[in-house]
A = this chain, B = another copy of it.
Amino acid sequence: MPKVTDEHRDRRRRQILDAAVACFDRRGLHATTTDEIVAEAGLSAGAIYRYFDSKDAIIEAVAAERHAHERSLLADALAGDDPRASLRSFLERYFVWLGDPDEQRRRRVNVYVWAEALHNPRLAGVVTSGLAPLDQSVRAVRAAVRSGAFPPGLDAEPFVRVVLALLQGFVLQQCWDPTVDLEGYRATALATLDALLSATTEA
């Protein structure tokens, strides 16, 4: 009856991962001890090691999960055939996500992961594969330029990076100050992109 075992296993991993995110959110990746995670999960010291090889493995799993949403949003956007609609929809959904109070807390962990990725190759992989099937996005934008959906002269890669920066920068700002005005930012950011996409040519 592997069904039961698998379900149990998944439930436990979920439990541990949730506990880890809660702890990481509060005290960061390094200040958080395995004991804290275990206590938060309501387990004993050794229990987590049946489900993860090490604290680092937990961090990696958390990181991967934390970037899964962005990856899925991006995948959906890339799947559409109307570039402007896709981009708009991607942004709308991203801003909905930014507005979710639970996610706001959990998203702090993403920032920890962003920093950790700077010297941890496995996390670097997670992060760059997260918001950064850049290549695909860039190709899609190029196609949109060729098809006339986006203005001629639009430089695809920088454009994609500008979109991402608008999002990532706001994630940072929101983490530093959770009371930041999301709606205002959303409006201005979208207007910014609209303005850019309306411009006939750019420098």
Q: Is A112 engaged at the interface, CB distance under 8 Å to the other chain? A: yes
Min Cβ gap A138→B in Å is 11
Which of A31, A115, A191, A196: most chain B Cβ within 10 A?
A: A115
Contact A114 B117 (CB under 8 A): no
Contact pattern, A 147-169, Cβ under 8 Å of B = 1, otherwise 0: 00000000101110110111111
Q: What's the number of copies of this chain in the assembled complex?
A: 4
Within A116-156, the residues touching B (CB, 8 Å) are 116-119, 124, 127-128, 132, 155
Q: Which of B27, B169, B202 lies in contact with A167, CB distance below 8 A? A: B169
Contact A116 B28 (CB under 8 A): yes
Contact A192 B194 (CB under 8 A): no
Within A160-203, the residues touching B (CB, 8 Å) are 161-162, 164-170, 172-173, 175-177, 180-181, 184-185, 187-196, 198-199, 202-203
Min Cβ gap A131→B in Å is 9
Q: Is A14 engaged at the interface, CB distance under 8 Å to the other chain? A: no
Q: Is A66 engaged at the interface, CB distance under 8 Å to the other chain? A: no
Q: Which of B161, B173, B188 lies in contact with A173, CB distance below 8 A? A: B161
Contact B158 A168 (CB under 8 A): no
Contact A128 B169 (CB under 8 A): no
Q: Which residue on chain B has the smallest CB distance to residue A170?
A: B165
Contact pattern, A 77-109, Cβ under 8 Å of B = 1, otherwise 0: 000000000000000000000000000000010
Q: Which residue on chain B has the smallest CB distance to residue A115?
A: B115
A39 to B114, CA, bound (A): 28
Q: Using Cβ atoms and an 8 Å threshold, which residues of chain B touch A164? A: 169, 173
Contact pattern, A 1-45, Cβ under 8 Å of B = 1, otherwise 0: 000000000000000000000000011101100000000000000
Question: A162-B166, A192-B192 provided; 12 other pairs, C-beta below 8 A?
Answer: A26-B119, A28-B119, A112-B115, A112-B118, A132-B176, A155-B187, A155-B188, A158-B184, A191-B196, A191-B199, A191-B202, A196-B196
Q: Show 7 residue pairs from A and B whose CB-CB distance is below 8 angstroms, ordered by the A residue.
A: A27-B119, A111-B114, A114-B172, A157-B184, A165-B167, A192-B192, A195-B199
